[in-house]
Amino acid sequence: MVGVPGFTWWRWLYQFGAGPLGENAAGRVFMRVGEPPALLESTILETDTEQLRLFYQREGFRQATVTPVVTRLALGKRVRVEFEINEGFPTTIRQFKYHGFDELREAEKQELLSESLIPVANAPVSDSLSWRPKELRYSEPLLVEERQRLIRFLRDRGYADVYRDATHAVVYPIHPDSFDVTMAVDLGSRYRFGNVHYQIEGPQQNVESRRDTTLLDSSEPGQEGGSLTAAFSDEKRLEFELLTRTLQFRPGDQFNQSRLLATKRRLDATGVFAFSDIEPAIPDTLQNGIIRLDHLIRLRTRVRHQVRFQTFMQQRSGALADSDNELGMGLGATYSNLNLFGGGEALTISSTGSISADIAGFGGFTSAQWENSIGLSYPYLTFPLGRFDELSSLYDARSQITLSLLAARRDALRLTLRARGGARYRFELRHNETRSSIIDLVDLSVSNPDTLDGFQEIFLDDILTTVDDPVQQAQIIEDYTRPQFNNALSYTLRSSTVDPFRRDEGHYREAALEFGGNLGRIMDGLIFSPGTVDGTIPGFGIFSGSGQKRGMIYRQYIRFSAEARAYHPITQRSTFAWKALVGVAHPTGASDVVPFDRRFYSGGANSVRAWRLRELGPGAARFTSDTDSLVASEGANILGGDIKLEASAELRTIVIRRLFDANWIFTLFADAGNVWLGPRNPGTNDGRFRIESFAGDLGIGAGFGLRLGWEYLIVRLDAAYKVHDPRRRGDFLPDRFRDPVLQFGIGHTF
């Protein structure tokens, strides 16, 4: 367990079930989740010995010997098995050479060398494809990987006949401790793409078959193009233009395996096709000796119209969450049209309703909401980035238009959201398998909060009595009661190699830059009140407000955030994970604060877990009273923050496998972080970020937790303790080990 030698937790579980509990149902449960003691068998020992010897031989230790030593232990019928390994001298690669590459152009040879897995340590001996590596140990797995690289390299440069059988590594024993290795390849002919034929089958019946044909120019100057044809059967809606758009090569181009795979990937990414396959045809030799390879692409389209009903669980966090740890359940219905206009466009209309409760505080139902949205997705880039899709070689691309409208009731805050609307125009660009960009060209949001009976007594009076600064009092009232308008232009760069569900290996990195509020400023100063800046624009309909609160406020700002996570497997059962996050938001123009929903908050089940949701910060300040109805223990951070720093580390170990079909994962974790007010924020100096003292403002917590991981669901429960509270400096473990903060959530924390 956790890589500790001798800590045989699994064997103990098995023997506990087989011994004290006997053969009853409880005993069988322990035996099933545990691991039986391994019996000592000579055949298995001999097999392991031979496998170890072969491993060392493949890694260049040709004279390695492996000897098993079995020692009987004094305690019980147990033995210790050790393998004594004498590696001997390693065998090195004296000279490495590529053979059969004479037809490559000089630039291609240089590229071949620059990407080689066999390091070029000195000047070539005889020609550009032969050299002496410097102290490189012979390794069969390395040569196998180099062969696969060569195959990909050559097939991307026109040599379609190069497969595994056409590439060999020939080893010449020169001395007992050194080999010469020649990577020999039978290149065959260099091909160009020929004509392309699509064969599409649909689910519709009694639809007349049709054919379309067009001529395409080669993307390489001086090369003859070819034809693109499509035969449709039982498919009425699909347009020929989608097939042309997703084709990532042109007839007459040099054959490139990566471009062929990219075509299949873009076809699959449209969501229109349930099946796709690409087959090469018989090569065709032209009069000038050029060999062209035609391709047949078979496609089967999905049923266009789909309606599905779903139930779901949700965990609410963010600016308008009401409780420490709010969980909810809901019902929803979604209609999808997978090929609305025939070009792969996907129309989605959904309506969901949910109710939520404060699980951690046992406060009963805390909110309800109803949300409707409509979205239109394109499997390519639209205006104004459409040209970029044509000129680049993107791994995948998508454009999305989304409209949403939400109405909600927040009982803990004694607020309702009569309406919260949003409109977004987004572009998703996948550059390769791991890296992508997200551009929100248009991101509009409007909201109209309103108060319920008791808001003044339960919430507002309790908050304002602890805030002495009238500027901050006005800001709080404005945040929670005024209709608001915001727009944003943002760019996000993301890199991820981790499974988003399991999160047991790989990394996740993201950086985002956002400019907001500028559209409101333009409409305010140029359209609604030319020459003056009021800070508001007229509302309309359900977003207009009433009385003195009529009109929507807007605030200009710039916002940057960056996050890094990494997941390091320690053993087959254990993973060490960490994350670091930094965020900065700064008001611009005439604004002195950042919009309410674009500020940062700290504390909660996915943040610093020793504090409840939004409970930490700003800095060491406290703007709530001891009787605050939101969180009586510490007080919620009503103002939010303009600067955020946060870091976490977590050790996850599977202690029981497949009990009730779930993996039981034990975790140890530590969190640190806080939010601060920025330099332009009005009011008092409490809670401002200062470089000389910010380290003392960090809230630090630690604890342990349990996760139950099913195949498609992970449920977690964490118990966290405060190690350093910025409001109680100098008091280590201020609450000792009493009253841990319990955090319940869905999925891993990060």
Q: How large a percentage of the chain has pLDDT more than 90?
A: 56
Highest mean pLDDT among 9-18, 66-75, 445-454: 66-75
Other CB atoms within 10 Å distance of the CB of residue 153: 18
When pLDDT is cut at 50, 70 and 90, the band that residue 542 belongs to is: low
pLDDT, tens digit, 9 for 90 and up, residues 2-34: 556 667 777 888 888 888 776 677 788 788 777
Question: What is the reported pLDDT for 50?
Answer: 96
Q: Check whether 228 has a pLDDT greater than 90.
A: yes
Q: Which residue has the higher pLDDT, 536 or 412?
A: 536
pLDDT, tens digit, 9 for 90 and up, residues 415-446: 777 778 999 999 999 999 999 999 999 999 99
Sole residue written with tokens 């987004």: 426
Q: Are 533 and 508 spatial neighbours (Cβ–Cβ below 8 Å)? A: no
Q: Are strands 741-746 and 92-99 parallel, antiparallel or unpaired?
A: unpaired
Q: Check whether 136 has a pLDDT greater than 50.
A: yes
Question: What is the reported pLDDT for 201?
Answer: 95
State the Cα–Cα distance between residues 432 and 434, nearest whole angstrom. Answer: 6
Question: What is the reported pLDDT for 362?
Answer: 46
Q: Check whether 315 has a pLDDT greater than 90.
A: no
Six-digit token pair at 656?
């029981």
Comparing 508-512, 514-518, 612-616, 645-649, the range with the smallest average pLDDT is 612-616
Set out the domains of the chain in order of their start, with CATH numbers.
9-86 (3.10.20), 92-185 (3.10.20), 191-301 (3.10.20.310), 561-750 (2.40.160.50)
Q: Are strands 506-516 and 484-496 parallel, antiparallel or unpaired?
A: antiparallel
Q: What is the average per-residue pLDDT within 690-695? A: 90
Question: What is the reported pLDDT for 628?
Answer: 45
pLDDT, tens digit, 9 for 90 and up, residues 674-685: 999 998 887 677
Question: What is the reported pLDDT for 367?
Answer: 82
When pLDDT is cut at 50, 70 and 90, the band that residue 240 belongs to is: very high
Question: What is the reported pLDDT for 435?
Answer: 96
Question: What is the reported pLDDT for 2?
Answer: 55
Q: Check whether 547 has a pLDDT greater than 60.
A: no
Q: Check whether 458 has a pLDDT greater than 80.
A: no
Torsion angle (degrees, nearest 10) of CA 148, 153, 158, 162: -20
Q: What is the average per-residue pLDDT within 472-488? A: 84
Comparing 281-290, 462-471, 498-507, the range with the smallest average pLDDT is 462-471
pLDDT, tens digit, 9 for 90 and up, residues 626-657: 444 444 345 667 788 999 999 999 999 998 88
CA angle at 599 for the pair 598 and 601, rounded to the nearest 5°: 130
Q: Which residue has the higher pLDDT, 625 or 746?
A: 746
Burial label for 707, CB within 10 Å (0-12, 13-18, 19+), is: buried
pLDDT, tens digit, 9 for 90 and up, residues 556-593: 999 999 999 999 999 888 999 999 999 999 999 888 88
Q: Are 677 and 689 spatial neighbours (Cβ–Cβ below 8 Å)? A: yes
Q: Check whether 72 has a pLDDT greater than 70.
A: yes
State the Cα–Cα distance between residues 510 and 53, nearest whole angstrom. Answer: 44
What does the longest C-alpha to C-alpha distance in the chain come to? 94
pLDDT, tens digit, 9 for 90 and up, residues 519-529: 999 998 888 88
Burial label for 747, CB within 10 Å (0-12, 13-18, 19+), is: middle
The mean predicted confidence, pLDDT, of the chain is 87
Q: Which residues contact 366 (CB under 8 A, 6 or more apart)?
A: 322, 323, 326, 356, 357, 358, 410, 411, 412
State the Cα–Cα distance between residues 74 and 402, nearest whole angstrom. Answer: 71
Q: Which residues contact 357 (CB under 8 A, 6 or more apart)?
A: 326, 327, 328, 363, 364, 365, 366
Q: Check whether 324 has a pLDDT greater than 80.
A: no
Q: Which residue has the higher pLDDT, 459 or 130?
A: 130
